[in-house]
Amino acid sequence: MTTDRHTQTAVPARSLAELAEGRLPERMRLEQAARVIVTARRAADLAAEGALALPVAALPALRAVAEIARNWDPAAVTAFEYAESLPVAAIDLLLRAAPDWAAAFPGTPERLAA
């Protein structure tokens, strides 16, 4: 199996540029947001299948995570691209709310593991 040389060098080059320009922390925030979005969407899908009970969305944190994840169209964009399109305030809210959202599940739902 051959690997495209451009692909091999593009990722490290982009990472080096982000490091040099001080943009790595923002990229990491977007990656974290994307992971929360994917996890929340997977939880919603499992709940729709009856395989998981979602916590009651009475807390603002639960509503925030669920709403942001619900608006992602995985057929149109990746979770990272969706996160990039969100306003900074929405990303901040998502990342602040994620621990409370996850803690609201009874036990640790292993089926949500990426």
Query: Does the pLDDT value for residue 82 go beyond 60?
Result: yes
- Read off the pTM: 0.76
Instruction: Output the pLDDT for position 51.
Output: 86
Place of tokens 């990039």: 84
Whole-angstrom distance, CA of residue 92 vs CA of residue 40: 16
Q: What is the mean pLDDT of residues 79-98?
A: 95
What's the CA dihedral at 92, 97, 99, 101 to 10 degrees?
-150
Residues 2-51: tens digit of each pLDDT: 456 666 677 678 778 877 887 778 889 999 999 999 999 999 899 889 88
Query: With contact defined as beta carbons under 8 Å apart, do 30 and 83 qualify?
Result: yes
Handedness of CA 104, 64, 75, 6 (dihedral sign): negative
Neighbours of 114 (CB within 10 A): 6
